[in-house]
Amino acid sequence: MYVVDGHLDLAWNALQWERDLRLSVQTIRAREAATPGKGRALGTVALPEMREGKVALCLATVLARSTGTPSPHLDYPSAEQAHGVATGQLAYYRALERSGHLRVIRDREALEAHVAEWKAADGADGTASELPPPGVVISMESADPILDPSQLEDWWEAGLRTIGVSHYGPGRYAGGTGTDDGLTPQGRELLSEMQQLSFVLDLTHFSDPSFWQALDLYEGLVIASHNNCRTLVPHQRQISDDQLRAIIRRDGVIGAAFDAWMLRPGWIRDVSSPEGLGIGAVVDHIEHVCQLAGDSLHAAIGSDLDGGFGREQVPADLDTIADLQKVGELLAARGYSGEDVANVMHDNWLRVLRRALPQRLPAPHKDSR
């Protein structure tokens, strides 16, 4: 069964982590064998394994912050630097598209053509290399690279479709994970501009005050691209049952993340081991969303694989992104119908994207790609 993943930091891994995603995961690991740092030689995501695991489409991020607390390759001293990094990541996706390694999906017509081709290939015999290239819908994780809300239309024209306004810490537009800060005045203005342009609002990484303020102000489509359930793993990074119900009432979708810190209570980064933790824990969070909703229409995958960590911080039975297929197998083993499994594996994200994307846009000029 083909997969839609709600959150992958592909460009950040390629540019800030210096990983050539055209190569296999095993080759990237071998190249990093002598490289110090968290997650090095333990990556799980590359384009060949996405094809192998039938990851037909993902929300692929541009990621750069400017919170006032600089961090190498992630958090920059100025918004202008964050802007430059994020536009470079966007250019990377265009370069991969130009060379045929992936497709940037900008409108509904392109989405339907891409899905039709993957459906046809999914039912045919053949190797992973014969499958179509994966598609990406461009998402932003932290709106800090947007210099001011008036610039938002430029980002839309460049292909951005989904925005998570905050990340970790006090963002320029809203308080994020680890804070009790709400929306800033510019954040309120940003949400208004986002609504005018029909962006999808990603509620992931909002502080609790920012979450509720944004939901009150924003009338457009909302999702939580990579969020797990606070009831199962108590932490502010997770979302509460009240927040889950609020997203469900708005016909939003919640993507379950594979970060072990979000799957096992009491997990300590760089100390705890994934031993004994399986992908079944991810399915527990998916089931919790389904139980709250009373159906399978709001739970999905938002893996966040290689989101600053590798195999040392994911379920022990996951080697590469190809193992996302195990989610469907486990759901079926728990008694979910084929339709329910398809909803979680791809159809729920596709429903959101069909509503969010414009019907048809002119083809981009060659010199802009």
Going by C-alpha positions, the residue among 286, 308, 280 that lies closest to residue 299 is 286
Distances (CA, A) of 354 to 4, 142, 163, 220, 261: 13, 24, 17, 14, 32
Q: pLDDT tens digit string along 116-134?
A: 999 998 766 667 778 999 9
Is 218 a residue whose pLDDT tops 90?
Answer: yes
CA distance linking residue 311 with residue 39, whole number of Å: 7
Going by C-alpha positions, the residue among 319, 296, 347 that lies closest to residue 49 is 319
Mean pLDDT of the chain: 96
Q: pLDDT tens digit string along 273-299?
A: 999 999 999 999 999 999 999 999 999
Structure tokens at 119: 């459906």
Predicted pLDDT at 364: 59
0.85 exceeded by pTM = yes
CA distance linking residue 229 with residue 231, whole number of Å: 5
Predicted pLDDT at 161: 98
Q: How confident is the model at residue 11 (pLDDT cuts 50, 70, 90)?
A: very high
Is 368 a residue whose pLDDT tops 60?
Answer: no
Going by C-alpha positions, the residue among 365, 323, 357, 361 that lies closest to residue 161 is 357
Predicted pLDDT at 369: 38
Q: pLDDT tens digit string along 162-177?
A: 999 999 999 999 999 9
Structure tokens at 70: 């600089």
Residue 136 near residue 157, CB atoms below 8 Å: no
Predicted pLDDT at 122: 75
Query: Which domains are seen in the chain, by residue range?
Result: 3-368 (3.20.20.140)
More confident residue, 218 or 361: 218
Predicted pLDDT at 367: 45
Q: pLDDT tens digit string along 32-51?
A: 999 999 999 999 999 999 99
Predicted pLDDT at 31: 98
Q: pLDDT tens digit string along 135-159?
A: 999 999 999 999 999 999 999 999 9
Q: Across the strands, what pairs with 168?
A: 177
Predicted pLDDT at 360: 86
Structure tokens at 115: 């899905």
Q: Is 320 helix (H, G, I), strand (E, B) or coil?
A: coil
Predicted pLDDT at 362: 78
- Among 256-270, 329-343, 351-365, the least confident range: 351-365
Going by C-alpha positions, the residue among 293, 304, 296, 298 that lies closest to residue 331 is 296
Mean pLDDT value of segment 39-64: 98
